[in-house]
């Protein structure tokens, strides 16, 4: 009886032939894809909003890198799975976890303003025009999806398989912070301001992974948290300031430490993450 060998397309889509995720190749690809956006920012010096240079349009780079690598590993099925899980609304989003997703960053901003006021440090006036805020939130949602499709949808799981959730969060947070340094330089931030901003992002990534792990690895939960964080701080502290960034970073670091102590560094979750 003759046998028919499977075609290349069939074998490339089979589970046994699918390649494992490659987070380090993903990181390299994100940084390479970001180079044209960085150059555009340095050449034009344009800002989309105060404190947001035009190079921030590089938010598409993590998504593009994740899509390219998912296709390399599993073909069209890999890309479909990545997009589906990045947009999937899970039941966990209707649980008490919705409160930290929606309210944690506004509470951090409120606490920061209290500290600034009690220490008599000048602070920018909040800016909340309703129509503009709704448009801005929609834009931040799109930008957050572009980033988190890569950082949360592709990179964090293989890192957590290699290290503890806390270690993976810190590593990914440091990479995420390094990726933002060009944008921070382009907005004229000092070295000290950038350092506090990097601490902010590492602590924020720990909190993001905590939310991700406790919502059944829901990428959309992190997307929503990310968008609300951007809207909150760009509205409460328009243009940003060194003093507000320093206080925000300290508060977020304290929150990340509490999360780590209460939920444990291994999984940052009550249940282990498969």
CA distances from 199 to 113, 164, 177, 181, 236 (A): 19, 19, 8, 12, 20
Residues 152/254, Cβ–Cβ less than 8 Å: no
Residue with tokens 């933002």: 180
Q: What is the pLDDT of residue 12?
A: 38
Is residue 18 scored above 80 in pLDDT?
no
Residues 231/133, Cβ–Cβ less than 8 Å: yes
pLDDT (tens digit per residue) in 85-136: 999 987 777 789 999 999 999 999 999 999 999 998 888 788 777 788 899 9
pLDDT (tens digit per residue) in 207-221: 999 999 999 999 999
CA neighbor of 183 nearest in space, from 60, 39, 25, 66: 39
Q: What is the pLDDT of residue 258?
A: 98
Average pLDDT over residues 184-188: 95
Is residue 259 scored above 70 in pLDDT?
yes
pTM for this predicted structure: 0.90
Q: Phi and psi of 89, rounded to 5°?
A: -95, 115
Q: What is the pLDDT of residue 81?
A: 96
Long-range contacts of 7-12 (CB under 8 A, 24+ apart): 9/75, 12/75
Q: How far apart are CA 164 and CA 171, in angstroms?
A: 11
Q: What is the pLDDT of residue 244?
A: 94
Q: What is the pLDDT of residue 273?
A: 57
Is residue 5 scored above 70 in pLDDT?
no
Q: How far apart are CA 174 and CA 63, in angstroms?
A: 19
Mean pLDDT (the chain) is 90
Q: What is the pLDDT of residue 128?
A: 72
The distance in angstroms from the start CA to the end CA of the chain is 43
Q: How far apart are CA 45 and CA 47, in angstroms?
A: 7
Is residue 59 scored above 60 in pLDDT?
yes
Q: Phi and psi of 50, rounded to 5°?
A: -55, 125
Q: How far apart are CA 212 and CA 153, in angstroms?
A: 10
CA neighbor of 205 nearest in space, from 151, 250, 164, 248: 151
pLDDT (tens digit per residue) in 127-180: 777 788 899 999 999 999 999 999 999 999 999 999 999 999 999 999 999 999
Is residue 3 scored above 60 in pLDDT?
no
Q: What is the pLDDT of residue 272?
A: 56
Residue with tokens 């989003």: 93
Is residue 16 scored above 70 in pLDDT?
no
Average pLDDT over residues 62-90: 95
Buried b (16+ CB within 10 A) or exposed e, 28-67: ebbbebbeebbebbeeeeebeeebbbbbbbbbbbbbbbbb
pLDDT (tens digit per residue) in 225-242: 999 999 999 999 988 899
Least confident of 53-62, 124-133, 190-199, 262-271: 124-133
Is residue 1 scored above 70 in pLDDT?
no
Q: How far apart are CA 18 and CA 71, in angstroms?
A: 10
Residue 264: how many other CB atoms lie within 10 Å = 15
Q: What is the pLDDT of residue 50?
A: 82
């Amino acid at each position: 009886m003759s046998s028919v060998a499977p075609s290349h397309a069939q074998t490339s889509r089979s589970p046994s032939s699918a390649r494992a995720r490659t987070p380090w190749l993903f990181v390299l690809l994100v940084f390479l894809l970001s180079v044209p956006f960085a150059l555009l920012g340095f050449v034009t010096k344009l800002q989309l909003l105060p404190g947001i240079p035009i190079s921030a349009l590089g938010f598409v780079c993590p998504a593009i890198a994740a899509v390219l690598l998912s296709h390399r590993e599993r073909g069209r099925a890999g890309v479909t799975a990545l997009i589906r899980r990045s947009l999937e609304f899970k039941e966990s989003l209707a649980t008490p976890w919705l409160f930290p997703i929606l309210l944690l960053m506004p509470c951090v901003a409120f606490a920061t303003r209290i500290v600034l006021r009690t220490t008599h440090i000048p602070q920018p006036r909040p800016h909340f025009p309703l129509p503009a805020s709704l448009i801005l939130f929609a834009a931040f949602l799109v930008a957050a999806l572009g980033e988190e499709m890569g950082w949360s949808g592709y990179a964090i799981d293989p890192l957590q398989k290699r290290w503890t959730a806390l270690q993976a969060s810190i590593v990914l947070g440091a990479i995420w912070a390094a990726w933002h340094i060009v944008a921070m330089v382009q907005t004229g931030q000092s070295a000290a301001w950038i350092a506090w901003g990097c601490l902010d992002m590492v602590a924020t990534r720990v909190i993001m992974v905590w939310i991700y792990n406790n919502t059944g690895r829901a990428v959309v939960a992190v997307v929503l948290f990310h968008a609300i964080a951007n809207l909150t701080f760009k509205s409460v502290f328009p243009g940003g300031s060194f003093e507000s960034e320093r206080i925000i970073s300290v508060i977020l670091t304290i929150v990340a430490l509490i999360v780590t102590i209460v939920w444990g560094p291994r999984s940052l979750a009550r249940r282990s993450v498969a």
